Structure 1
Amino acid sequence: MADQRPLLFFDSGVGGLSVLAPARALLPNAPLVYAADNAGFPYGRKTEAEIAARVPALLGRLVERYRPRLVVIACNTASTIALPTVRAALDLPVVGTVPAIKPAAELSRNRAIGVLGTEATVRQPYVDRLSAEFASDCLVLRHGSARLVELAEAKLRGEDTDPADYRAVLAGLLDQPGGERIDAMVLACTHFPLVADELAAAAPRPLAFVDGGPGIARRIAHLTHGQGWPDAPGEGIAVFTRADPSLDRLRSSLAGYELGRTEIL
């Protein structure tokens, strides 16, 4: 019989869909469970202690209910804070999401890159270590934006967003000293690739936007190589930690990612 165990993707909101999409492209028949902790959203404004306590507990409950073959923490903030604890607690592969500083540094001709994430992500020592290891010859500027997370969520609910908001977010990086040299920008929050087109349209000059989604998809494919999959894709499940009227406005977007069922944890 085909192995029906799903891949479990976890984020504070809908941002992890930017990781789920390339994984679905590589593994089209993989059963999918997408879990959004909307009761705890947004993570970028929580303390490290709150995230370190909340994420492992939630993932423990999700793993018990859905019995996945692999867990993807499709959230930079949760990964940079809670990944070691989650890996120690769960007896299955756990893939994290970290800022794509290495590929951005490889792309940058001006040797200046921007890291655009949540406030919680951009202040993590992990970003310091990635910058030192992979971008030591680059100017690395950072900016945390909770507003961009809100814009991505609004877009997936079908709401209009204002181009001026995207210009203001970019200015938080580009207007810093040395920001005029930036030619590659790390989208260090999984929400941000969902509005990459809007960011590109608002940018005052061409910028290369880089995110970790494709690399994570390849890692998932590697870790599950040789495992059996169903013969055809099934209906994916979207799980939320709180019932909310706004979830109805997400159904169309979720269906576009083949998540046809909605459940509350």
Structure 2
Amino acid sequence: MPDHRPILFFDSGVGGLSVVAPTLALIPDAPVVYAADSAGFPYGTRTEAEIAARVPALLGRLVERYRPRLVVIACNTASTIALPAVRAALDLPVVGTVPAIKPAAAMSATRVIGVLGTEATVRQPYVDDLATRFAGDCIVLRHGSAALVEMAEETLAGVPPSLDRIGTELAGLFSQPQGERIDVIVNACTHFPLLEGDMAAVAPTGVRFVDGGPGIARRIASLTQGQDWPATSPPGRLVFTRLGERERQIAAGLARRGFPVAEAL
């Protein structure tokens, strides 16, 4: 019998779409529920205590309502802070998102890499540990940007991003000591791949970008290997924790990406 249990993707906003896309490329018939904590957005400027309390509680409600087969925390900030607590609270597989420092170090010729995330993500000890374990011979420069998160959200609401603003944010990496040597940037926020084409247009020639989306998709495919799926992929379900005018504008953009209806949690 077909198994209609969805994969539940969770983020503070729309950044998790950069994880949904490679997942559906591997599992095209997977039912998807995409939940955006619009009432708590953005996570990058919240305290660790706020995120640690909020994320497990919300995911508990979402799991109770949608009965997924697997949960994906498609948010670096939420994962680096709340992933252990979520796994302890939920009796099903939970996949997190972490900065792709390991593949960035493998790609870098100059041995100087940039980590571009939210302010909350780049200051986490978890990032220190990743840099020590996988990029010990690299200089790892970090910059937290709330502005890029906002621009990614605005893009899906129909507002084109400003290349000047993007250049200003990237300068937060390149203007640091040794920053001119950066040849790989880790998109350590799932929102940022949505702007990657624009970032590449203003970054110095030869700089490459890497994110965790494809690796997360492979992990999801591995965890669900051998499971049954519906014969045809149903439309995605889009859930907001607050459904106001801003969210309705974003939902209109997501309707073209396979999420025709938005609902409130």
TM-score clears 0.5 = yes
**1:49 aligns to what?**
49
Cα deviation 1:108-133 (Å, max 9, x = unaligned): 00011000000000000000000001
How much does 1:44 deviate? Answer: 0.2
Alignment correspondent of 1:11: 11
Secondary structure of residue in 2 paired with 1:259 = coil
Distance 1:251 1:19 in 2: 18
Name the SS for the 1:33 alignment partner. strand
Q: In the aligned structure 1, how far is the partner of 2:160 from the partner of 2:262? A: 24
One-letter amino acid of the structure 1 residue matched with residue 150 of structure 2: E
Tell me by how many angstroms 1:259 deviates: 1.3
Are the counterparts in 1 of residues 15 and 190 from structure 2 also a CA contact under 8 Å? yes
- After TM superposition, the structure 1 stretch with the greater mean CA deviation from structure 2, 85-94 or 196-205, is 196-205
Q: Could you tell me which residue of structure 2 aligns to residue 216 of structure 1?
A: 216
Sequence identity of aligned pairs in percent?
68
Once the two structures are TM-superposed, the CA of residue 98 in structure 1 deviates from its matched residue by 0.1
Tell me the residue number matched to 2:132: 132
Say whether residues 1:164 and 2:167 are aligned partners: no
User: Partner of 2:123 in structure 1?
Assistant: 123
| Alpha carbons 1:17, 1:257 under 8 Å: kept | no
Q: What is the CA-CA distance between 1:224 and the residue it aligns to?
A: 0.2
Partner residue, 2:111 = 111
1:174 aligns with 2:174: yes
Asked whether the equivalents of residues 21 and 257 of structure 1 are also in contact (C-alpha less than 8 Å), the reply is: no
Alignment partners' CA distance in 2, 1:196 and 1:143? 16
Please tell me whether the aligned partners of residues 104 and 210 of structure 1 are also in contact (alpha carbons under 8 angstroms).
yes
Normalising by structure 2, report the TM-score.
0.99
Please report how far the alpha carbon of residue 256 of structure 1 lies from its aligned counterpart in structure 2 after TM superposition: 3.2
Q: What do residues 20-71 of structure 1 show as CA deviations (whole Å, max 9, x unaligned)? A: 1100111000000000000000000000000000000000000000000000
Q: 1:190 aligns to what?
A: 190
Q: Which amino acid aligns with 2:84?
A: P
Answer whether contact 2:3 2:229 (CA < 8 A) is retained. yes
Instruction: Give the C-alpha shift of residue 246 in structure 1.
Output: 1.7
Deviations 1:142-180 (A, max 9, x none): 000000000100111111221110100110000100001
Q: Is 1:100–2:100 an aligned residue pair?
A: yes
Distance 1:124 1:164 in 2: 28
Deviation at 1:136, TM superposition (A): 0.2
Aligned length: 265
1:9-88 residue pairs with structure 2 within 5 A? 9-88=9-88
Q: Which runs of 5+ in 2 are unaligned?
A: none
- Check the 8 A contact 1:237/1:262 in 2, yes or no: yes
Q: Distance in 2 between matches of 1:113 and 1:140?
A: 5
The 2-side partners of 1:27 and 1:8 are apart by 14
Q: What letter is aligned with 2:55? A: V
Q: Which residue in 1 is equivalent to 2:206?
A: 206
Q: Report the alpha carbon displacement of residue 247 of structure 1 after superposing the two structures with TM.
A: 2.2
Range with greater deviation from structure 2 (81-90 or 245-254): 245-254
Cα distance in 1, alignment partners of residues 248 and 140 from structure 2: 40
What per-residue deviation string (whole Å, max 9, x for no partner) do you get for residues 163-208 of structure 1?
1101001100001000011000000000000000010011132211
Partners of 2:204 and 2:16 in 1: CA distance: 27
Give the C-alpha shift of residue 250 in structure 1: 1.8
Q: Which amino acid aligns with 1:75?
A: C
Give, in angstroms, the shift of residue 255 of structure 1: 2.3
Equivalent residues of 2:38, 2:247 under 8 A apart: no
Runs of 4+ in structure 1 off by over 6 angstroms are: none
For 1:257 and 1:68, how far apart are their aligned partners in 2? 21
Contiguous gaps of at least 5 residues in structure 1: none
